[in-house]
Structure 1
Amino acid sequence: MSSEWPAWNDLAGIRAHLDAGADPDALVHGWRPPLDFAAEYGTPEVVAELAGRVTDVDAVNEGRTALWTAVSEGRPDNARALMEAGADPWRPLIAGWSPARLSLAGPHPDLFPPRAELSAAESAAVAEAPRLIEALAPGRDGGFSLACVAGITAAEAARRLEASPAEGPEEDDEFDDLDDLLVGATDVPGGCVIVQPWGYAAQTPGVTKALSSGTVCYAMYANPKSGNQGQIVRDGTIEGWDLHPGGGVPRPDATPEEVLLTYLYKHEAPAYCYAYTSLRPTDSRSLTGPPDQWLQLPTRDHWT
């Protein structure tokens, strides 16, 4: 029989596929269980059908259960179907978060019977997320890089980078012709932001290590070919590389704070960077420009 599954909202097709011998526990394309796909893309009826056939409705794949997926993808209907099939909403998964506790941070906090509350810091992060996302709108297209740095000013950033004041580009300049070592720096509440609208310089290790001395920096490059590439640098040491801010799926070794930010800032990569470093801009100027000042980075290898 074909190994291709029908559309995840096709109950009759899914049922026929299973009746013909499809394994409900086998990973689709070697990646995700069918129930996990259904939790994100399917109907409650398809979810219930698969949940009744799998060996374990709470099977864990890449740190998540199907119920986690339903919650994180905003599918309360599918979450209810999974709970009715026996899924455990309070099972600790990534960094101690359970699907039910994660739901308290989203638009359906009454989805499960209450057994816990968010901490004051977590509740504050939840309240801040829509404000920050709106403040940074409409954002930038791909091809830019930024570094969000906690607790220092743009002037201090320039000193750490050994950068000199420079003239910015003209409005009609083509990005392809601009200096690879020219970056913008802007003060925001909580720290500062370094941006290069046309390239990756703000995310190079030489820049982020210098900026992060005694503090934390979250940087990203919006690679137009491969997507957002993030890094965490703390006190000159790179703690995470080739991360995916705004990707929606926490990394397996994520901290509790990172799990929450991943949920709150799905598809909002720059906002994730600001939130990670506790920056609180009141508008988008630090991202979209014009910056407080343009800086010329020194000519040297910024990849080391």
Structure 2
Amino acid sequence: MKNIAIAMGGYSSEFEISLKSGNVVYDYLDQSKFKGYRIHILRDKWVYADDGNREFPIDKSDFSVDVDGEKIVFDAVFNAIHGTPGEDGLLQAYFELLGIPQNSCDYYQAALTFNKRDMLSVLKPYGIKTATSYYLNKGDKIDTAEIVSKVGLPCFVKPNKSGSSFGISKVKAEAELPIAIEVAYKEDNEIIIESFLDGTEVSVGVINYKGEVIVLPITEIVSENDFFDYEAKYLGKSQEITPARISEELAEKVRAVAKRAYEVLKMKGFSRSEFIIVDGEPHMLEMNTIPGLTAESLIPQQARAAGISLTDLFTNSIELALSGK
């Protein structure tokens, strides 16, 4: 029986969603193989939370925990932290230094993909299409006319490093840009402003399943709101249609691009990439390396459509980590 730490929480606006994801992993863990421990990694505390809601502090020097006089060490970590420090490489580097296997990608890949503009820059030479973009760092002069001339209207203003659509605005008039930029700066000190891509939005998971990189069924996103924002993602304000209502030819293009990005970046674990299909060509928006694992989340939906149960999905991820793959 292997001891598995399920890391959840985090330091970002996504911590509540991460706690939900972590609890889903805990609930669906194969208890014949693994003993799961819910590890809450929060700004003010790192603790093991047992089923009675008692909390035991984590010893950060070796990531162990003392439970009623017994020292518990972990064979592997299931990383369910969206945002920092679980999705940006900090925890991956920490666990690598400690020699504890973890199921997500390595620290460099996490840091790169968490930075939307750096990741898209790396993928562009491989023929992966993206929106036209304009970058701002906090303190830069804001020239709204220059931004509009580069990306056009409407456009999207996004924090460069955040998830769950926190801080994103769709801007329809030049006068709205300064407010949208302020909103994005609340989440991050770097901003990416992208041209509006008018097309079909899809999301697709890529995983290593039993040693083979596979692309999960594609989900089409139809948001009731202006875009696939927080409400659309988590509060039911969207239709998520799996498999997507696109031709097999288009689906094959999306699968090929998603798999190529995964392999070019030397990814491990889960990835979920977002695309907008414009004029028959998928344009990549971003890649999530710790995608949501709640009942409403897309990777669980796609896995079910592929005939993979959550227990199998999680078991496979942990066993790959334990085997060093």
Q: Same fold (TM over 0.5)?
A: no
TM-score where L is the length of structure 2: 0.28
Larger Cα-atom Rg: 1
| Structure showing the higher strand proportion among its residues | 2
